[in-house]
Amino acid sequence: MTWDVLYPRRSGLWPGRSGDQPIKYEPTTKHVVQVDPRNDPDLPQLGGWLESAGLVAYRPGVRATVRVETAAGELYVKVAGQSRMKRLANAEDRLAVALAASQAAQLALPISRYRGASVYATVAGHDLHSLLRNDASEKALVQCGRGIAALHRFGPLSGLPEDPPYTIEQWAEWVEQHDPSAPGELVDEARRVGRHFEFDTLEPKAVLHGDLHDKNVFVAGRAITLIDAGSARTGRPSDDIGMLAAHVVLRSIQYRNDPETGLRHAGVLVDAYLAAGGTALAANISAVTTYTLARLACLYRFRKKWHGVTEQLMALATERVA
């Protein structure tokens, strides 16, 4: 069996999809196993939810999100192993503390938690991903910049993991080993970007969302709401804002084949962030944006539908380190 989507991981089996069929991929043997979400041995509680709920997102053996229709409206339930859910609860509690006094950003918190599941109400507004796909106004990007700056103005909190080392070498190896159709120069260019990835160490650390892409940011009025806080950590604030800026560029390439508009929109986001007192350094934001463009070029080699964007993303990254 071939695969259409894979989610590489540092250890264990890789979740993925072949057509509409969920799969697990063994990266050593490259063997693929089909998975039935109703009988996932790593998520035994998921089957019970699927008796009355619809599957929204699913990474076999890792996590799932289901949508439940109730008389009061839609609810969303995250399902994962107990250790992952414990980390999520810890991250949500600490991020909520950091945002408690902010008028520009808030965190979507569960209305209930219990063994292996967290239940959330529908988030107000529109996710930035949808806004970007439909040619979002720059006002939404300004609101995002201000809201993220509000988060980063809080210093590091105890109980969150420290930032992991950035390495693009791992991504280059994964592409080289598992996507034989990838252009060889893409791997070489990824490694070249990685060699140029440097930081100004004077940037103060802060509480980070940790997985700040456009699907995790909702815009409503003059405030934003962040979701999916399971990757929250202490680190360089440029890691957050640079990651989001790169995703803004990605969406412009995906949906309009227009990287220049994406770069301009990313500039609006970053300028609003800095004007609102964001603590990331401008040079570091630029470095993270470049790195993330190269990382996304590698990541999207594992999403066959989007192979066409990978060379454009890597070309932008290499131009920025030339």
pTM of the model: 0.95
- How many CB atoms neighbour CB 2 within 10 A? 8
Count Cα atoms within 13 angstroms, Cβ side, for 237: 26
Q: What is the 3-state secondary structure (H, E, C) of 56-125?
A: EEEECCCEEEEEEEECCEEEEEEEECHHHHHHHHHHHHHHHHHHCCCCCEEECCCCEEECCEEEEECCCC
**Taking 90 as the threshold, does the pLDDT of residue 177 lie above it?**
yes
Task: Provide the pLDDT confidence category of residue 69 given band limits of 50, 70 and 90.
Answer: very high
Torsion, Cα 16 302 10 320, to 10 degrees, reads -150
> How does pLDDT run across 221-275, given as a tens digit for each residue?
888 999 999 999 999 999 999 999 999 999 999 999 999 999 999 999 999 999 9
Percent of the chain with pLDDT over 90: 83
Strands (E), the chain: 5-6, 14-18, 21-26, 31-34, 54-59, 63-70, 73-80, 105-107, 112-114, 117-121, 126-127, 206-208, 217-220, 223-226, 233-235
CA distance 112 to 121: 10
Q: Is the pLDDT of residue 197 over 90?
A: no
Report residue 64: phi and psi, to 5°.
Answer: -150, 155
Three-class SS of residue 25?
Answer: strand
The confidence band for 1, taking pLDDT boundaries of 50, 70 and 90, is low
Each residue of 102-111: pLDDT tens digit? 889 999 999 9
Ranges assigned E (strand) in 115-164? 117-121, 126-127
Q: What is the mean pLDDT of the chain?
A: 93
C-beta separation of 50 from 44 below 8 A: no
Residues 6+ apart with CB under 8 A from 81: 42, 43, 116
Band (pLDDT 50/70/90 cuts) for residue 129 is: very high
Q: How far apart are the first and last CA of the chain?
A: 40
Give the angle 234-240-242 at the CA atoms, nearest 5°. 140
Q: Is there a contact between 200 and 284 (Cβ–Cβ < 8 Å)?
A: yes
CA angle 197-202-203, nearest 5°?
75
- Look at residue 136 and tell me whether its pLDDT is greater than 80: no
pLDDT of residue 200: 87
| Tokens at 30, concatenated | 């490259």
Average pLDDT of the segment spanning 33-41: 95
Decide: 200 and 242 in contact? Cβ < 8 Å.
Answer: no
Q: What is the pLDDT of residue 80?
A: 95
* Total Cβ atoms within 10 A of residue 259: 18
Say how many residues make up the chain.
Answer: 322
Cα–Cα separations (whole angstroms), residue 36 to 27, 85, 142: 20, 22, 42
Task: Report the pLDDT value the prediction gives residue 134, as an integer from 0 to 100.
Answer: 84
What is the sign, positive or negative, of the torsion defined by CA atoms of 173, 85, 21, 41? Answer: positive
